[in-house]
Each structure stands twice: as C-alpha cells, then as structure tokens.
A = this chain, B = another copy of it.
Amino acid sequence: MSQPTENLRVRRTRKLLRDALVELIEERGFDRLTVGQVTERAMVSRAAFYRNYADKYQLVEQIFDEAMAELLGTVSEDAGAGPPAAERWVVFFEHIDRYHRFYAALLGAKGSPWFAAKMRASLTDMVKEHLRPPPSDSLPAAVLGAMFTQSITWWLGNGRPCTPREIATRSARLAGAVIAEANRPPTNSP
C-alpha cells in the first residue's frame, strides 16, 4: 500500500497518543489541553505527533474515522446486504460500547461542541444511508441524527445503565415516532 500503517512504531505512537488524549480529556477537558501535554503523557516527542497529525482536532478525527470505518466493516461483513434494520442499531451501540471511553470523554461535559456537531452530522448521514424508509426530507434526518447523538450522550453520561441492545431498542422506538410523524400527510388539525 502507499502508506503502510503496518509499521509497529507508528501504530504504537498513535495508540499512545490516543490513550493519552482520552486521559487528558477526562482530566482537563478537550479545549484546555495542548499538544505538548498529550505528547508528554504519551511519552512521545512533539515532533512525532506532528509527523502523524496536523493538530489535536485531526487526532480526534482519525480515531473517529477509523472507528466509523470499523463499524461500517462490521455492519457489512455479516451478510451481503448486512443485518436487518433493527439489528443494525444493536451493532451500532455495541460499537459505541467498545469505544465508550473515547466517546464519553468527547461528548461529556469536558468534551467539545465541535465533536458533538461532528457526531450529529455523521449520524445524520448514517440515518439517510441506512434507515428504511429513508427520511422524506433533510429536516427529519437532521433531527434524528441529533436524537441518536443524545441517546449516546445520555447512555454514556449515566455510566451505560442498560445493555447496548436495550438502548438500541429504546432509541429506535423513539426514532420510529419521529419518522411516522414526518411521513404523515400535512393536515391543519389533529
């Protein structure tokens, strides 16, 4: 491949930087941490950081992108067309579960509104892509993206009080109500 990520040193450097990032978000918050603090915690030179990432935002983005790529791989590898729609959300929340420290840190009180917006946008895209039938309009898709983001935030912020399957079912049920309402023909009275 063009840029072999196979190299042990760069994989290790990135892993150390990721773990340090999550730790420091939990401790000090995302906007209050510097590249130098992350590299010091990770026992990595600042130069090595900049060899891998442009800034701390790109570090977050790459973790997120790889996580999403892994998620999409999991969804599509199960079968040709993937699992049925209901099971798909279970797989999704199991994915959130695996990366819960990362998501909890960035969506929590010490996280970043920048990342929350990124998450909403990404989930809105997923809704447009994977929801059957797809939302009729852009507004319901955006609202559903925000709903799922909030479900995740609630779930992680309360220490995951139920199983991935349960939170997936409850979230899907709430989403179903919105979809039904959005697909109703417009009327003036209830």
Contacts and interface: CB of A to CB of B under 8 A. Distances in A.
A66 to B, nearest CB: 17
Interface string A1-25: 0000000100110011000000000
A35 interface: no
Contacts of A8: 43, 45
Instruction: Report the contact-size class of chain A (Cβ under 8 Å from the partner).
Output: under 10
A11 to B, nearest CB: 7
Question: Assembly of this chain: how many copies?
Answer: 2
Nearest to A40: B8
Interface in A136-176: none
A56 B77 CA distance: 41
A12 B15 CA distance: 13
Contacts of A45: 8
Contacts of A12: 16, 43-44
Contacts of A44: 12
A15 B16 CA distance: 12
**Counting chain B CB atoms within 10 Å of each CB, which of A11, A43, A44, A45 scores highest?**
A43
A11 B43 CA distance: 8
A165 B6 CA distance: 49
A90 to B, nearest CB: 29
A16 B45 CA distance: 16
A137 B45 CA distance: 54
A116 to B, nearest CB: 31
A159 B123 CA distance: 43
7 contacts: A8-B43, A8-B45, A11-B43, A12-B16, A12-B43, A12-B44, A15-B43
